[in-house]
Chain A
Amino acid sequence: MSIIIYLQILLIIISLVITFGKDNLNMVIFFSVFSLICASLYYFYRAPDLALAEAAIGSAIVPLIFIITISKQREFMVICNIEDDFINPKSKEGEGYKLLSDFTDYYNLKLVVRENKEDTIYGVFRVRNVDLSVKKKKDKYIFEGKSTSIIMNKLVQMTKECSKVDILLVEEEQMDD
């Protein structure tokens, strides 16, 4: 029984480290270690089926979906439907690109600009969860965003001085993502 006591004291130390930790990514790594120690404890309690399930689910799949969430939450997806120098995703230049990168720096997000060409986006691999789409009408650029999102208000404030840009807030179902 003594190895069970030692492993449980280690488990208490690791759970205290997770509880008082500050960085989210470190906490996810420590949670993976926590699950591995839990799996070995289940084995010593004579439950090998639970140990198999916990080692597969707890220490591999759950940290994987945590890391996917942490990487997804930092993205601001922009679909670019224009083909001039206002937004140039390859060289990361242009007036509009500078505006959008100022906006994403304010919220500490990562700006992702995709060009909408018919031959690159198709099938199940087409882009979903678009935050903003850029179109051109006459000589004005239309920024189309979701009206449910609160961070769009900040973008409306930032583009007040810029006469080239119009903000259009639409319902979630009308976004062409």
Chain B
Amino acid sequence: MRLDILLSFVVVLIGIYGLTISKNIISSIISLNITQAAVVLLFLSVGAIEGGEAPILGGFTPSIVDPIPQALMITAIVIGASITAMSLMLTIKLFHYYGTLSWKEIIEREG
């Protein structure tokens, strides 16, 4: 077991834990962003090898890192940014409807 894979998995777990304990909508969205960035880190650390070069053609490259996780994760970053923008827009609408940003108060008012 490599240590860097373990440490990036710890960051994923911290993000999920923050999602469960957050009392505020904004802090929930920030925790979601932490989880997303840490998942990208986890995939990259699985694909990396000791002494590998960046997967760019040209010249003699004896060993390169795995390019498949990198090609997948560039999509995940863009999707994360757009999900953040949409959930923040919904947050503004929710605040103008309920007058508060706390999860507890919103659930109480729904009944």
User: B residues within 8 A CB of A61?
Assistant: 81
User: A residues within 8 A CB of B38?
Assistant: 11, 15
User: A48 near B: Cβ within 8 Å?
Assistant: yes
Interface contact B41-A27, CB-CB below 8 Å: no
Q: How many inter-chain contacts with C-beta < 8 Å in the A-B complex?
A: 135
| B51-88, CB < 8 A from A | 52-55, 64-65, 70, 73-74, 77-78, 81, 84-85, 88
| B3-17, CB < 8 A from A | 3-4, 7-8, 10-11, 14-15, 17
Separation of A12 and B11 alpha carbons in the complex (Å): 6
Nearest to A69 among chain B residues (CB) is B88
Contacts A19-B21, A50-B70, A65-B84 given: A58-B8 contact, CB under 8 Å? Answer: no
Interface contact A24-B27, CB-CB below 8 Å: yes
Interface contact A45-B45, CB-CB below 8 Å: yes
User: A residues within 8 A CB of B98?
Assistant: 150-151
Chain B CB count within 10 A is highest, among A50, A65, A70, A72, for: A50
**Chain B residues within CB distance 8 Å of chain A:** 3-4, 7-8, 10-11, 14-15, 17-18, 21, 24, 26-27, 29-31, 33-34, 37-38, 40-41, 44-45, 47-48, 50, 52-55, 64-65, 70, 73-74, 77-78, 81, 84-85, 88, 91-92, 95-99, 101, 109
- Would you give 22 A-B contacts (Cβ < 8 Å), ordered by A? A11-B38, A12-B10, A15-B11, A15-B18, A18-B30, A18-B31, A24-B24, A27-B26, A47-B73, A50-B77, A54-B40, A62-B33, A62-B81, A62-B84, A65-B85, A66-B26, A69-B91, A73-B92, A131-B96, A149-B99, A150-B98, A151-B98
**Chain A residues within CB distance 8 Å of chain B:** 1, 4-5, 8-9, 11-12, 15-16, 18-19, 21, 24, 27-28, 31, 34-35, 38, 41-42, 45-50, 53-54, 57-58, 61-62, 65-66, 69-70, 72-73, 107, 129, 131, 148-151, 154
